[in-house]
């Protein structure tokens, strides 16, 4: 695997993160077919299976889950999905509940704890392709959803009755906010204002679209103006998702409490200079679990990872890492056992 080397002009986690929103890079055309998946409460979400030539029944299936405010058209998902499909991997891009193509199919919002929704997606993939090994990658909020699902299923909770966890070959969580309290506290800092404003701008647009469709959203007062992610979760995410309040949401939805139960070979990619999901959240968690492998990087930011290859060419290293991991046949042997690797 090519080690991460930050671009010499962007050896800073803040710059790397800001560039993610400024420099999209290649954005392949959307070439996928929609699959609607019913959820336990009667709502529906949508996944997008990448189109291409015929694949054998035994081709692996990669499931990609976007982060906060994203959807199947998030540029990194489009780039990664296209490359995986070209490499012979069946690829699904998930629109979390009420996101993307599923906006009019679910009134409840997506949230960091929606593990049962992801379990429905995985079960659908297993039913459709019984001879295909499932591999999953979750980005940021999607990574927390993934880790929570893996832990809950392995612990024998309600999800274990809906999902054959043994058929998930391996999983990859990139910058997951495993402790939502830590993440919200960090985003409340004055120095994180630029990120908060960006996310709230994206989320506000989604709120307006949902107000046009759903009475439950119309009933929520617009004022006072939401100024933090915590306030957004208090006004919208927690009450509309059935939580008592924001603290209850953060307590229940954080994945850190489930890591000890995971039995699926899983890599968690953590950057020491991520300004949104701080490394502090991971330092506080003691994980005595041979199935979890931490990959630590420096100066990659939050899903930024503009780097250089051995020839000095600019690359999007996160794309490279995820693509090569999800198409690899040697992932389990090389990553499950042993001490965390520093790259």
Q: What is the spatial distance between Cα 267 and Cα 136, in angstroms, rounded to a whole number?
A: 11
Query: Does residue 194 contact residue 203 with C-beta atoms inside 8 Å?
Result: no
The confidence score (pLDDT) of residue 343 equals 35
- DSSP reduced 3-state for 21: helix
The yes-or-no verdict on residue 92 having pLDDT over 80 is yes
160 burial level (CB within 10 Å; 0-12, 13-18, 19+): middle
Residue 28 pLDDT class (50, 70, 90 cuts): confident
The confidence score (pLDDT) of residue 169 equals 96
What percentage of the chain reaches a pLDDT higher than 90?
Answer: 83
User: What are 46-62's pLDDT values in tens digits?
Assistant: 999 999 989 999 999 99
For residue 18, the surrounding DSSP H or E stretch is helix 13-22
Which pair of structure tokens corresponds to residue 136? 């999953």
In three-state form (DSSP H/G/I as H, E/B as E, the rest C), the secondary structure along 106-152 is: CCCCCCCCCHHHHHHHHHHHHHHCCCCCEEEEEECHHHHHHHHHHHH
Query: Does residue 194 contact residue 158 with C-beta atoms inside 8 Å?
Result: no
The yes-or-no verdict on residue 322 having pLDDT over 70 is yes
26-64 b/e with 16+ CB inside 10 Å = b?
eeeeeebeeeebebeeebebbbbbbebeeeeeebbbbbb
- DSSP reduced 3-state for 232: helix
Q: What is the spatial distance between Cα 199 and Cα 232, in angstroms, rounded to a whole number?
A: 10
Among candidate residues 176, 161, 147, the one with its CA nearest the CA of residue 261 = 147
State pTM to two decimals: 0.94
Query: Does residue 292 contact residue 259 with C-beta atoms inside 8 Å?
Result: yes
**Which residue shows structure tokens 């997951």?**
176
Q: Quick one: DSSP state of residue 233?
A: I
Which residues are CB-contacts of 316 (< 8 A; sequence separation ≥ 6)? 25, 76, 79, 305, 306, 307
Residue 122 pLDDT class (50, 70, 90 cuts): very high
**Residue-wise DSSP of 158-207:** GGGGT--GGGEEEEEEES--S-HHHHHHHHTSGGGHHHHHHHHHHHHHHH
- DSSP reduced 3-state for 289: coil
Which residues are CB-contacts of 224 (< 8 A; sequence separation ≥ 6)? none
Which residues are CB-contacts of 231 (< 8 A; sequence separation ≥ 6)? none
Q: What is the Cβ-side half-sphere exposure of residue 271, based on CA atoms within 13 angstroms?
A: 29
Residue 337 pLDDT class (50, 70, 90 cuts): very low
Q: What is the spatial distance between Cα 124 and Cα 102, in angstroms, rounded to a whole number?
A: 16
Q: What is the spatial distance between Cα 301 and Cα 17, in angstroms, rounded to a whole number?
A: 5
The yes-or-no verdict on residue 231 having pLDDT over 50 is yes
User: What are 171-222's pLDDT values in tens digits?
Assistant: 999 999 999 999 999 999 999 999 999 999 999 999 999 999 999 999 999 9
Among candidate residues 190, 88, 177, the one with its CA nearest the CA of residue 138 = 177
């Amino acid at each position: 695997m090519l080690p991460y080397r930050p671009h010499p002009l962007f050896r800073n986690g803040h710059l790397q993160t800001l560039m993610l929103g400024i420099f999209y890079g290649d954005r392949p055309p959307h070439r996928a077919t929609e699959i609607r998946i019913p959820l336990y409460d009667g709502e529906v979400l949508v996944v997008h299976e990448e189109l291409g030539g015929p694949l054998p029944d035994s081709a692996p299936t990669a499931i990609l889950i976007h982060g906060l405010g994203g959807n199947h058209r998030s540029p990194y998902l489009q780039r990664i999905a296209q490359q995986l499909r070209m490499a012979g991997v069946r690829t699904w891009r998930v629109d979390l509940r009420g996101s993307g193509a599923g906006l009019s199919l679910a009134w409840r919002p997506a949230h960091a704890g929606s593990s049962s929704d992801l379990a429905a997606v995985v079960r659908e993939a297993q039913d459709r392709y019984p001879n295909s090994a499932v591999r999953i990658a979750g980005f940021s909020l999607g990574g927390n959803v993934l880790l929570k699902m893996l832990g809950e299923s392995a612990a024998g909770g309600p999800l274990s009755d809906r999902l054959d966890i043994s058929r998930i070959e391996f999983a990859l969580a990139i910058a997951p906010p495993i402790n939502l309290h830590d993440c919200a506290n960090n985003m409340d800092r004055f120095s994180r204002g630029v990120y908060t404003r960006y996310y709230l701008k994206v989320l506000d647009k989604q709120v307006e679209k949902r107000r046009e469709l759903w009475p439950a959203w119309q009933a929520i007062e617009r004022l006072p103006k939401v100024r933090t992610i915590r306030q957004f979760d208090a006004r919208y995410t927690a009450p509309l998702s059935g939580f008592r309040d924001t603290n209850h949401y953060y307590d229940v939805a954080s994945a850190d409490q489930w890591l000890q139960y995971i039995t699926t070979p899983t890599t968690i990619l953590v950057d020491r200079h991520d300004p949104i999901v701080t490394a502090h959240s991971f330092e506080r968690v003691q994980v005595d679990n041979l199935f979890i492998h931490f990959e630590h990087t420096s100066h990659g930011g939050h899903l930024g990872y503009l780097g250089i290859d051995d020839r000095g060419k600019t690359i999007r290293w996160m794309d490279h890492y995820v693509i090569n991991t999800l198409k690899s046949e040697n992932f389990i042997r090389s990553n499950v056992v042993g001490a965390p690797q520093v790259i």
